[in-house]
Every structure is written in structure tokens, then in C-alpha cells.
């Protein structure tokens, strides 16, 4: 009896969310200059910002079904490609990575 109920609930949730995720053509792509690199983002909608971060080895494309659903719910979802993934540039060498994350130098006089 419990298995039937769980399966039934999953079916209802899937049917309820599917129409919201059926408009992938409205996703806007643009590039931002961030910390010396060119970063690609995919965004949709207007409202409170929601940042969707992908894991290894994925891209913004992992969120392609979530973007329209959040936009339809009144949010502004943004899915960036992380450094070195997709269309976002990677830093050129390890020294650049170290320089971008290091603390400022303090001079003693």
C-alpha cells in the first residue's frame, strides 16, 4: 500500500512540473567580465535572484529544465558556467590562480 502511494505522488509531481519546464527557448545567454575572465551565464525571468551552480563535470545545461520552472514561479534564475567549463574562460596558469586569491600585501615602515 505504501509503495502505491509513493508512486502516485511522484506521478502527480512530475505532471505538475512538466508544463512549467516546456519553454527552453526563452533562456538568455550573455557574458560577464568577472575577476579577469569572461564568464558565460544563462538566465531567465525577473524577480528575486536564484544562482544555480553546477558540479563537476557539468555545465549550465544541467539546469535547462529548472530555469523555466523557476522563471514561471516569479524568480530570476541564473546558471553560470564555472571557471574553465563550457564557454567560461579558465585562468591561464597556477600563478594567476594564486594571485587572484591571495591576501593583499602589508608593508611595514
Per cent of the chain over pLDDT 70 is 61
User: Is pLDDT at 9 greater than 70 in this prediction?
Assistant: no
Domains and CATH numbers, the chain: 2-92 (3.40.50.1820)
DSSP string, 1-34: -HHHHHHHHHHHHHHHHGGGG--GGG-EEEEEEE
Question: Which pLDDT band, with edges at 50, 70 and 90, does 12 fall under?
Answer: very low
How many CA atoms within 13 Å lie on the side-chain side of 25?
Answer: 0
Query: Residue 107's pLDDT is what?
Result: 54
CB atoms within 10 A of CB 67: 27
63 and 52 Cβ atoms separated by less than 8 Å: yes
C-alpha span between 42 and 28 (Å, rounded): 6
Of the candidates 49, 79, 47, 50, the residue with the CA atom closest to the CA atom of residue 63: 79
For residues 55-68, average pLDDT: 91
Query: For residue 106, what pLDDT is reported?
Result: 57
What confidence category does residue 75 fall into, taking pLDDT thresholds of 50, 70 and 90? very high
Picking from 64-68, 80-84, 93-97, which range would have the lowest pLDDT averaged per residue? 93-97
Amino acid at each position: 500500500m505504501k509503495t502505491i502511494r509513493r508512486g502516485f505522488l511522484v506521478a502527480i509531481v512530475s505532471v505538475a512540473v512538466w508544463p512549467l519546464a516546456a519553454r527552453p527557448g526563452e533562456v538568455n545567454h550573455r557574458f560577464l567580465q568577472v575577476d579577469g575572465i569572461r564568464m558565460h551565464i544563462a538566465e531567465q525571468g525577473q524577480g528575486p535572484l536564484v544562482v544555480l551552480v553546477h558540479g563537476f563535470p557539468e555545465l549550465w545545461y544541467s539546469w535547462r529544465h529548472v530555469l523555466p520552472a523557476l522563471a514561471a514561479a516569479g524568480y530570476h534564475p541564473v546558471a553560470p558556467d564555472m571557471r574553465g567549463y563550457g564557454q567560461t574562460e579558465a585562468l591561464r596558469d597556477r600563478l594567476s590562480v594564486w594571485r587572484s586569491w591571495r591576501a593583499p600585501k602589508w608593508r611595514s615602515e
